[in-house]
Amino acid sequence: MPLAILALACAAFAIGTTEFVIMGILPDIARALSVSISSAGLLVSAYALGVAAGAPALALLTSRMPRELALLLLMGVFVVGNALCALAPDYTALMIARILTSFAHGSFFGIGSVVAASLVAPDKRAGAIALMFSGLALANVLGVPLGTFIGQAFGWRATFWGVTAAGVVAAVGVAALVPAQGNGGALNLRNEVGVLAKPQVLLALAMTVLGFGGVFVVFTYIAPILEQASGYAPSSVAPLLALFGVGLVIGNHAGGRLADRGGLRTLRVLLGALILVMIVFTKTMHGRVEAAVTVLFWGVAAFAIVPGLQMQVLRHAASAPNLAATLNIGAFNIGNGLGAWLGGAVLSRGAPLDMLPWVAALMTLAAVGVAMIAMRIDERDPVVHAASADADAVADSTR
C-alpha cells in the first residue's frame, strides 16, 4: 500500500481519538465546568450530529479543490477545533468547539476514502479504505486509553492539546505524502445530490445505519454489562475495551480483504456473522472468560463490515463520490445515535441487560434484509451489475 494511505490512517487515528476520548474524561470536564454528567454527555451527541449534518456541506464546498488540498483544509479545521476545545473557558465555548471539530470528521473520511481507493489497483480498493480506517480502530486501542490517562493525570485540557499535536503531525504527513489529486470537476450540486436518487446509494446508506447501529445498541452500555452481568470490577472495563479495540483492528483488515473479493454478497455474510456473535453474547455475558472472548470476536465482526459498507456507496456513486461517501460517514454516526437511543429505550422499560444483544441482532438482521433487496436490484440492472466498472471510474475521476 502507498505511504499516502498510511498518512491518511494517521489522520484517522487523530480524528478517532478526539471523537471517543471525551467519554473517558467526561467526569473531569463536568467537574471543571460545573455542569452535570448528562449535560457533559451532550458534547458526545453534538459531535455525532455535527458529523451527520455539517460534514456534507463541507464536502460540497471543498469539491472545487484538489482533493489533497481539501484534506489539508479539513485537518486545519480539526487542529483549530481541538485547540479551541483546550482553550474553552466555559461549557458553551467547548460545545461550539466540539461541533466545529466534528465538521472535519465526516468530510475527511469521505474524501479520504475516495483518495485511498484511487491510489491502488481496482482489486485492492476496499483494502486501501480498510487501511485508512485502521487508524480509527487503533484510536480505540491506543489513543483513547492514552488520552484518558493524560486527562486524568494532567487535566482534561491536556488531552485536547495532545490530540491537537497529533493532528499537526498527521497534517504534515498528508502534505508530504498524498500526491496531487483531481477535484472531480467543478461544484455541481445537482450532480452531487442527484446521485442520492439512486436506489442502490440509498440502500447502501440504510445498510450503514442499521448494520453499525446494531453495534451501538450494545456498545453504548458495555460498561454496565461487563460490571453487572459479567461480574468484572470497574477497573477491568478499560482493558476489556482495549481487547474490543484489538478485534476492531483485526476485523477492519480482514473485512477490507474480503470486501475486495466478494462485494455485496460478502457483506451480507459478515452482517450475518455479527448477528451470530450478538446471539452468543446473550449467554456468554454471564461468564467472565466467556464474555472477554466474545468481546474480542465482537470487535472483529463489528469492524469487518465497515470497509464493505463504505465501498458499497463508492461503487454506486462513482459519478459524484464526495457527497455520497461523506454522507455514509454521517450514516455511521446516525447509526451510533439510533442504536444508543434504542438500547436506552429498551432498558428504560425494565428489560434486562441481556436483552440488548437480541435487539442489536434484530437491527442488524434488518441490514441483511436491505442487502438482499440491493442484490435483487443489482441482478435486474445490467449496468448496476457491472459495479466493478463503476468503482474503476472512482479512481479515474481523481486523476
Give the max Cα distance, the chain.
60
Q: What is the CATH number of the domain that holds 17?
A: 1.20.1250.20
What pLDDT, on the 0 to 100 scale, is given for residue 300? 92
Residues 58 and 68 in one domain: yes
pTM of the model: 0.70
Range of the domain at 147: 1-187
User: What residues of the chain score a pLDDT lower than 50?
Assistant: 385, 387-399
- Packing angle of the helix pair 91-118, 321-348 (nearest 10 deg): 130
| Terminal C-alpha separation, the chain | 18
Residues 232 and 180 in one domain: no
Say how many CA atoms lie within 13 Å of 18 toward its Cβ.
37
Cell 467519554 found at: 23
Q: Which CA distances in Å does 278 have to 286, 335, 364?
A: 13, 17, 10
Residues 267 and 336 in one domain: yes
Q: Which CA distances in Å does 107 have to 9, 12, 212, 324?
A: 15, 12, 19, 10
What pLDDT, on the 0 to 100 scale, is given for residue 273? 93
In the listed set 130, 155, 187, which residue is the last one of a domain according to the structure?
A: 187
Q: Is the dihedral of CA 147, 38, 329, 223 positive or negative?
A: positive
According to DSSP, residue 65 is labeled S
What pLDDT, on the 0 to 100 scale, is given for residue 395? 35
Nearest Cα residue to 327 out of 125, 109, 139 = 109
Residues 388 and 285 in one domain: yes
What pLDDT, on the 0 to 100 scale, is given for residue 121? 82
Residues 234 and 175 in one domain: no
Residues 141 and 278 in one domain: no
pLDDT in tens, 277-302: 999 999 999 999 999 999 999 999 99
Q: Is the dihedral of CA 330, 334, 337, 340 positive or negative?
A: negative
What residues contact residue 389 under an 8 Å CB cut-off, 6+ apart? Answer: none
Residues 360 and 212 in one domain: yes
Asked if residue 3 lies in contact with residue 177, where contact means CB atoms within 8 angstroms, the answer is yes
Q: Which CA distances in Å does 149 have to 153, 222, 238, 283?
A: 6, 20, 11, 33
The DSSP element (H or E) to which 73 belongs, if any, is: helix 67-87
Number of domains in the chain: 2
What pLDDT, on the 0 to 100 scale, is given for residue 186? 52
Residues 244 and 120 in one domain: no
CA distance 219 to 184: 37
Residues 45 and 179 in one domain: yes
Grid coordinates representing 186 are 467543478
Q: Is the dihedral of CA 72, 331, 304, 215 positive or negative?
A: positive
Instruction: Give the 3-state secondary structure percentages of the chain, helix then strand then coil, rounded to 5.
Output: 85, 0, 15
Residues 130 and 115 in one domain: yes
What pLDDT, on the 0 to 100 scale, is given for residue 392? 41
In the listed set 127, 155, 187, which residue is the last one of a domain according to the structure?
A: 187
In the listed set 123, 152, 187, which residue is the last one of a domain according to the structure?
A: 187
Residues 46 and 147 in one domain: yes
Residues 313 and 374 in one domain: yes
